[in-house]
């Protein structure tokens, strides 16, 4: 694994890890994770099939930590990485990373051979009122409390929160909570206008978890406008398929990109 860095035209340093061999695949992680933890269960399997470029979004890895940036700012970071590669690459984004990836594909379609979006949010994860509640935790740097408050907002049952506290995931989420607050702020100000994506001509895989609700995600709206899109469900899992069913996740990714 090699960490690489580039500087974008706006002066942002973007770092990404490169590993594996095969056709190029750029990964864009979601919130409450980074370029390593988001893919830790599936990275070795992906490396057997692809040359992976796993981007560290802002505030992670050696990428610049900025405040007040927008979705389009982070999409521009993804575009900068795509431009640095030798030819078009497949692009895969998870959750907030899917929002960045979709907007990067619009800005630089010639750099994206195929696009995979895993549960692109249909709108802000939290509204302005709930974001203000989370800001109070962030102001006093209570990242543990912020993660718990966020899970309550998502209506995760209290006993389930207690169970998750005993797993390694809790530590990952609290470590990333400061950077994730910027994701939540950016989504509050981001307008999802589905018609903007109608011109995209590359093949698109819209990946969902079979146990996920459909309403919070833009899967069906995107499928209705993208000219070459298909929906594939990962059976028996929800929003974290790359962690919970990594073999199935890699199989579906490989079928789409290599089949």
Domain closes at, from 185, 203, 221 = 185
What pLDDT shows up at residue 179?
97
239 and 173 within one domain: no
56 and 136, same domain (yes or no): no
pTM reported for the whole predicted model? 0.96
Tokens 């709930």 identify what position?
130
Q: How far apart are CA 60 and CA 199, in angstroms?
A: 32
Tens digit of pLDDT for each residue in 77-113?
999 999 999 999 999 999 999 999 999 999 999 999 9
Which range of residues forms the domain containing residue 248?
A: 2-123+190-258
Q: Is 195 found in the same domain as 98?
A: yes
Total residue count of the chain as it appears in this document: 259
Spell out the residues 6+ positions from residue 180 whose beta carbon is closer than 8 angstroms to its own.
31, 32, 173
Domain final residue pick, 185, 208, 226 = 185
Q: Where are the alpha helices (DSSP H) in 38-118?
A: 43-47, 71-84, 96-107
Query: Burial, 49: exposed, middle or buried (Cβ in 10 Å; 0-12, 13-18, 19+)?
Result: middle
Same structural domain for residues 14 and 67? yes
**For the chain, which residues score pLDDT lower than 70?**
none
Look at residue 159 in the predicted model and tell me its pLDDT.
Answer: 85
Number of domains within the chain? 2
Of 185, 204, 224, which residue sits at a domain end? 185
Same domain, 27 and 147: no
Run of H or E residues at 227: none
**What CATH number has the domain bearing residue 241?**
3.40.50.1820
């Amino acid at each position: 694994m090699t960490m690489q860095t580039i500087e974008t035209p706006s002066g942002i340093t973007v770092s990404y890890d490169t590993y594996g061999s095969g056709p190029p695949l750029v990964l864009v992680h979601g919130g409450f994770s980074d370029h390593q933890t988001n893919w830790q269960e599936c990275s070795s399997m992906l490396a057997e099939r692809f040359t992976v470029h796993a981007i560290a979004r802002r505030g992670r890895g050696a990428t610049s930590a900025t405040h007040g940036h927008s979705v389009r700012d982070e999409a521009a970071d993804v575009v900068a990485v795509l431009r640095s590669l030798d030819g078009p690459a497949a692009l895969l984004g998870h959750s907030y990373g899917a929002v960045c990836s979709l907007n990067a594909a619009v800005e630089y379609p010639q750099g994206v051979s195929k696009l995979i979006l895993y549960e692109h949010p249909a709108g802000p994860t939290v509204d302005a009122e709930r974001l203000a509640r989370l800001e109070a935790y962030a102001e006093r740097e209570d990242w543990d409390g912020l993660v718990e408050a966020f899970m309550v907002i998502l209506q995760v049952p209290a006993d389930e929160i207690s169970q998750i506290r005993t797993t390694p995931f809790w530590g990952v989420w609290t470590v990333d909570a400061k950077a994730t607050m910027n994701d939540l702020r950016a989504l509050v100000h981001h307008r999802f206008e589905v018609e903007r994506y109608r011109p995209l001509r590359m093949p698109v895989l819209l990946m969902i978890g079979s146990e996920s609700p459909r309403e919070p995600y833009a899967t069906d709206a995107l499928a209705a406008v993208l000219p070459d899109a298909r929906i594939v469900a990962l059976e028996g899992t929800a929003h974290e398929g790359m962690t919970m069913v990594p073999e199935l996740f890699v199989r579906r990714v490989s079928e789409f990109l290599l089949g």
